Amino acid sequence: GGSLFAITPAGGPTGKGSPFELTPPSSPADPWTETVLTTFAGPHSPGHVFSNLLGLANGVLLGTSAGGGASNNGLIFALVPPTSPQGSSWRDVPVYSFTGGNGGSVPNGGLVFGRNGALYGVTLNGGNSTACLNKGCGTVFELKF
């Protein structure tokens, strides 16, 4: 079997979470090996990630973050693998920043691909309703590449 990729919602050196890879052992009696992929450090970096990581064919991993982004309403981010295997770490790259209001905020579910190749997900807040503590009751979003 291959490696597993996941992310913690908090912790790591900056407290914003840590994406990691679990590599299976060569012998079933041995433990798996954990490797931290990168440290989220920039002002627009992900934070409080409560989603899966969705792998693309080119090795890029996509996820959503309840915090971070241009207006701190959350974002969709990409984890881009290193170009050389020696001494380089993965990079986190913002893909889309949520704007709040009708544009939604606090994406808290995972991402899924639709039949049309677009990504779909949900946000906890936003939308055109004033219910749900005047923050909106969330949105369903589509992101096309």
pLDDT tens, residue by residue, 84-131: 766 678 888 999 999 988 888 999 888 999 988 899 999 999 888 777
pLDDT tens, residue by residue, 35-69: 988 888 776 677 778 788 999 989 999 999 888 88
CA gap 126, 111 in Å, rounded: 18
Model pLDDT, residue 1: 59
Q: What is the DSSP string of 119-140?
A: EEEEEEE-SS--TTTTT-S--E
Model pLDDT, residue 87: 62
Best CA proximity match to 39, nearest among 15, 62, 56, 21: 15
Across 13-34, average pLDDT: 90
Model pLDDT, residue 4: 93
